[in-house]
Amino acid sequence: MSSTKEGLIGLSDSKKTFSFKGLFKNNYFLYALSLICFFLFWELVAVTFGKFLPRPIEVIDRVVYMFGHTLAGKTLLMHLWASLRRVFIGFAIATAIGIPLGLFMGFNKYVHAVVKPIFDLFKPMPPIAWISLAILWFGIGETSKIFIIVIGAVVPVVINSFNGIRLVDPDLYHVVKMLGGNHRDEIIQVSFPASLPAIFAGLQISLSMAWTTVLAAELVGAREGMGFIIIQGMNLSRVDQIIGGMFVIAITAWMISAVMTYLERWICPWKMQLKK
């Protein structure tokens, strides 16, 4: 990226000697400057409007405090685990339902004709909109949260599995046929490996979707979890707790996507070749 960018923007003539202007063309210097300005600005605003925004240091203090002390009987890590457990259970169920369903839709046009319209009926509703119905059905406990996580996470899995099968290059099937393979060979040797990158991309989307959905579910009603921490912060007028919780949530989201990217490289390395 950086090499093409240099060609793009024409930075190749950047000066070797130090100059003030050259400094402003250096990305890393700008990044550092920007972050410093951001936190200074935050600090300044916080000092002026003390009640509505805590200083950055207060947020860090609060996060550290929550690591060591319990809030509603649980430390920060236990709350984080409560949210993550819901995500993992919901995600596992969504995968177990979504991948086979998507694959069947891709392989069989009758299954596709039956399932697709019903699926299209549900797709435009944001998963969060299910929450009231879920609470009415299952109460405020774990089941209702896992239910809407499944609803939110299953959609990308199904769509990507279906498209993964459908968009397999037909030449690959022809090759298998020409080499004397039967229908089973087609499916095992071609369909699965060729659609795996798409399926995996669906899993990635679905996991980040699950993380968003669990937060929303916990905001509406929960006694533990990261959503609970920030809504509790709102109810107690503790902005440092809200912002601290948001940062923990952001770091978790970032880590989830980093792990998934790593797994993708490990499970389907041929995707990288396809991209080129």
Q: Which stretch binds another protein (CB under 8 A): 62-70, 81-89, 198-206, 244-252?
A: 244-252
Site string for another protein, 211-240 (x = CB under 8 A): xx--xx--xx------x--xx-xx--x-x-
Site string for another protein, 15-34 (x = CB under 8 A): ---------xxxx-xxx-xx
Q: Which stretch binds another protein (CB under 8 A): 100-108, 191-199, 207-215, 266-274?
A: 207-215
Does residue 116 interact with another protein by CB under 8 A? yes
> At closest approach, how far in Å is the CB of 257 from another protein?
8
Type of residue numbered 238: R
Tell me the two tokens of residue 121.
Answer: 């009926």
CB nearer to another protein: pick between 82 and 131: 131
Q: Who's near 176: CB < 8 A, 6+ residues apart? A: 185, 186, 189, 190
Does residue 57 interact with another protein by CB under 8 A? no
Q: Which stretch binds another protein (CB under 8 A): 61-69, 117-125, 162-170, 198-206?
A: 117-125
Q: Which of 40, 45, 113, 259 binds another protein (CB under 8 A)?
A: 113
Tell me the two tokens of residue 192.
Answer: 């699965």
CB nearer to another protein: pick between 29 and 270: 29
Does residue 40 interact with another protein by CB under 8 A? no
Tell me the two tokens of residue 122.
Answer: 């549900």
Contact 263, 196 (CB under 8 A): no
Tell me the two tokens of residue 160.
Answer: 């990507």
Contact 207, 84 (CB under 8 A): no
CB nearer to another protein: pick between 203 and 231: 231
Q: Which residues in the 84-103 window bind another protein by CB under 8 A?
A: none
CB nearer to another protein: pick between 116 and 271: 116
Does residue 242 interact with another protein by CB under 8 A? yes
Does residue 262 interact with another protein by CB under 8 A? no
Kindly state the number of chain residues that form the binding site for another protein, as judged by CB under 8 A.
Answer: 68
Distance (Å, whole) CA 166 – CA 164:
6
Contacting positions for another protein (CB under 8 A): 1, 4-5, 7-11, 24-27, 29-31, 33-35, 37-38, 52, 109-110, 113-118, 121-122, 124-133, 135-137, 211-212, 215-216, 219-220, 227, 230-231, 233-234, 237, 239, 242-243, 245-247, 249-251, 253-254, 257
